[in-house]
Every structure is written in structure tokens, then in C-alpha cells.
């Protein structure tokens, strides 16, 4: 299969391109600069959607991951505009280009996030749950809606609602490692908020799965089947690193440091289940948090984790 990948330089994209190539597929990064001489890549301009050199086809499938980094020092008005435009507008323009090709791709996998559900408390959330409210919920809803023209054209579209991706190479876990290793880790806010996570390996596995599963279309939650509370996540990461986690970060301090981002990223509660991945028999490699963290951090499984299969 020929698969074009936007955001190929990012955490998920770089791992995906390597895995696709290792599995014998042809992966073509869509890059935002002129490709190097001899580089197997196409140029993509997010502000116009244009892909060059223009051809009659781009690929059998497109995996669209690009977007301005969500986490920043502060969500200023300008940062929020860039986060939205690089997803909502860029997706609409990319879809326009793809649908006008003489041979459009058969499938488009477009990243989205579990932020779609907003603050869900203790309630279980599946793909059938309603959109929530807030900046990230509005973003995910509009980002998904930006793929509508592809669906109308008969392209199979999967909106992959990603949870917190766990990898030592980047993202939330990498950011937590230094404070936790220094013994400065602790629960955030009350610690009862649910966190829906997924190992990077399973993100890649899930993308390959949805690419090859014709029955999957529309929203697909890319989260492990065992979400945890922030308190459990904190305890587990401390255990895996062999460090104490006694220093809580009160909600007011998180808000002081991060403003609106604290509520939307750290204090929000999302107990999301991968109903559609499970119904389509996706075999999770890391269904439990402790095993996922040990694999991501290259730590030996603990005796209790080995016995309980965690
Ligand atoms: N990682 C997570 O925990 C997580 C959770 C939920 C949703 N997601 C979503 O999944 C997607 C991929 O995640 P990721 O962790 O791989 O993200 P990432 O590491 O931040 O990579 C995103 C990539 O998008 C491209 N990009 C950056 N700024 C851009 C801009 N202003 N306009 C267009 N493209 C831009 C860059 O790739 P190039 O330089 O190669 O173009 C960048 O490497 C993102 O859209 C993210 O929001 C991720």
C-alpha cells in the first residue's frame, strides 16, 4: 500500500513512517518544505492544501497527523489560532485537494483527540458519546467536521480520537520524566480525574489496523482499554521509576502556571473506552498501564505485574 503521511516529523508520524516501511508499504511523508534531492516525499502547503508535484494520485491512503503543538507555555490568542488553523483549516484544504484528484485515496485517517468529549467526570465515554465543551472539544469537533467533503466523495474517513500517547521520546510522558525522576512527581488536583492513555506502539498498531479494516469509518477512539485516574497514573509511574510521588500539584497552582491549559489537559476527566477498536478485534499490545510504561521506559516488568499480566 502507498500511504502519504502528514506530520511525519512528529512523535507519531516518525514512528508510523518507519513501521509502514518495515511492514513493506511505501510511506510518503507530506513535508512543509521542498523535499531534499532524492527524498521520497511530497511537498504540502497547509495554507493552501496544495500538494506538489501535482499528479493524478497521491497515495492509496493518507494519514493526516499534522498540527501545531497543543502544549505551549501559555494558550495565548495567537497560539490558539495557530492550533485551530493548522488543524481545522489545513484539514479542509487538504481534503479539498484530495477530493479533486483524478484518483483520490481510498482511505483518509485523520487525527483527532479524546478532548472531543470535554470534561466527562466518572462516566464511561465511547464513540457514541456526545461532544463536550471547551477549547479542545470545539477543536476536535471542527477538525472532524473538516473531513466531511472526503466522506461525501466516497473516501473512507476514520477520525482517530487519540488519548494521551505514552512514549519516552516525546509528548506528555517525556515531559513528566524529569520531575518524577527527581522525586518531584505527585497527583495533580484531586487526582480523581480519569486519564485515557495509549502506548505509542498501539497508536501505530491501531493506525495499521484501521487502514486495513474496511468496516471502520467515522470516529475511532485510540485509547487503551484500561483508563486510570490521575492518582493511579502517578502511583504507577512512581513505582516503575522507583521514585516517591509525594508532592501534589494543587489545582490552583496548576492554573497559576498553565492557565486554561491546566483545566483542559491536566484537570479534565476523560474515561474513554476503545469500543470500536475492540469490536473490530484490534489486539492491544499494551492494554495495562504498568506494562505500557515499563515497555516505553525500557524497565523490567515487576514480579507482581508479571503475575497479574499487567
Ligand atoms: N501525542 C498525543 O498525546 C496526542 C494526543 C491527542 C491527539 N494528538 C494529535 O495527533 C497528531 C500527531 O501527534 P504527535 O504527538 O505526533 O504531534 P507532534 O509530535 O507535535 O507532531 C505534529 C507534526 O505536525 C507538523 N506541524 C507542526 N506545526 C505545524 C503547523 N503549524 N502546521 C502544520 N503542521 C505542523 C510537524 O510535522 P512536519 O514538520 O513533518 O510537517 C509536527 O512534527 C497531532 O495533530 C496531535 O494533536 C496527539
State pLDDT tens for residues 160-169: 999 999 999 9
What pLDDT sits at residue 304? 55
Give yes or no for a contact between 199 and 232, defined as CB atoms under 8 angstroms apart.
Answer: no
- Tell how far the Cα of 242 is from the centroid of ligand 1, in angstroms: 31
What pLDDT sits at residue 226? 98
Domain boundaries, the chain: 2-298
- Pick the atom of ligand 1 nearest to 69's CA: 20
- Tell how far the Cα of 303 is from the centroid of ligand 1, in angstroms: 36
CA nearest ligand 1 atom 30, residue? 68
H helical segments located in the chain: 11-22, 77-84, 90-100, 135-145, 148-152, 171-181, 200-212, 230-241, 251-258, 260-261, 275-279, 289-297, 303-308
CA nearest ligand 1 atom 48, residue? 162
What pLDDT sits at residue 55? 85
Could you tell me the strand order of the sheet in which 156-162 lies?
A: 51-52, 42-44, 26-31, 2-6, 61-64, 107-113, 156-162, 218-222
CA nearest ligand 1 atom 1, residue? 165
For the chain, which residues score pLDDT lower than 70?
300-310
H helical segments located in 248-287: 251-258, 260-261, 275-279
- Pick the atom of ligand 1 nearest to 165's CA: 3
- Pick the atom of ligand 1 nearest to 86's CA: 32
For the chain, count helices (H), then strands (E): 13, 14
pLDDT tens-place string over residues 169-192? 999 999 999 999 999 999 999 999
Q: Is 67 in the pocket of ligand 1 (CB under 6 A)?
A: yes
CA nearest ligand 1 atom 20, residue? 69
Element (H, E) at 53: none
Q: Is 32 in the pocket of ligand 1 (CB under 6 A)?
A: yes
Q: Can you read off the three cell numbers belonging to residue 187?
A: 497527583
- Tell how far the Cα of 8 is from the centroid of ligand 1, in angstroms: 8
- Tell how far the Cα of 308 is from the centroid of ligand 1, in angstroms: 35
- Tell how far the Cα of 7 is from the centroid of ligand 1, in angstroms: 6
What pLDDT sits at residue 276? 98
- Pick the atom of ligand 1 nearest to 31's CA: 41
CATH number of 2-298: 3.40.50.720
Specify the pTM: 0.96
Q: How far is Cα 16 from Cα 210, in angstroms, rounded to an integer?
A: 13
What pLDDT sits at residue 299? 72
Amino acid at each position: 500500500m502507498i500511504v502519504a503521511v502528514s506530520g511525519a516529523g512528529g512523535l507519531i508520524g516518525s514512528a508510523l513512517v518507519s513501521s509502514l516501511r518495515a511492514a513493506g508499504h511505501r510511506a510518503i511523508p507530506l513535508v512543509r518544505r521542498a523535499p531534499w534531492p532524492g527524498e521520497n516525499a511530497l511537498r504540502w502547503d497547509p495554507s493552501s492544501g496544495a500538494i506538489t508535484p501535482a499528479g493524478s494520485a497521491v497515495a492509496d491512503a493518507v494519514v493526516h497527523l499534522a498540527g501545531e503543538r497543543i502544549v505551549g507555555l501559555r494558550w495565548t490568542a495567537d497560539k490558539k489560532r495557530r492550533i485551530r488553523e493548522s488543524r481545522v483549516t489545513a484539514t479542509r484544504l487538504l481534503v479539498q485537494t484530495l477530493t479533486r484528484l483524478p484518483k483520490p485515496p481510498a482511505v483518509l485517517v485523520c487525527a483527532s483527540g479524546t478532548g472531543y468529549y470535554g470534561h466527562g467526570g466518572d462516566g464511561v465515554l465511547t464513540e457514541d458519546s456526545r461532544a463536550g465543551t471547551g477549547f479542545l472539544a470545539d477543536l476536535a469537533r471542527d477538525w472532524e467536521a473538516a473531513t466531511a467533503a472526503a466522506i461525501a466523495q466516497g473516501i473512507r474517513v476514520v477520525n482517530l480520537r487519540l488519548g494521551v500517547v505514552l512514549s519516552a521520546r516525546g509528548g506528555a510522558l517525556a515531559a513528566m520524566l524529569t520531575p518524577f525522576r527527581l522525586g518531584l512527581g505527585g497527583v495533580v488536583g484531586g487526582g480523581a480525574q480519569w486519564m485515557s492513555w495509549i502506548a505509542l506502539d498501539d497508536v501505530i498498531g491501531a493506525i495499521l489496523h484501521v487502514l486495513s479494516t474496511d468496516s471502520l469509518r467515522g470516529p475511532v477512539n485510540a485509547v487503551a482499554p484500561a483508563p486510570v485516574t490521575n492518582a493511579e497514573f502517578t502511583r504507577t509511574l512512581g513505582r516503575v521509576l522507583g521514585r516517591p510521588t509525594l508532592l501534589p500539584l494543587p489545582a490552583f497552582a496548576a492554573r497559576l502556571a498553565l492557565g486554561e491549559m491546566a483545566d483542559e489537559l491536566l484537570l479534565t476527566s476523560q474515561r474513554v473506552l476503545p469500543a470500536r477498536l475492540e469490536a473490530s478485534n484490534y489486539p492491544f499490545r499494551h492494554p495495562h498501564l504498568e506494562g505500557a510504561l515499563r515497555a516505553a521506559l525500557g524497565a523490567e516488568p515487576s514480579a507482581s505485574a508479571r503475575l497479574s499480566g499487567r
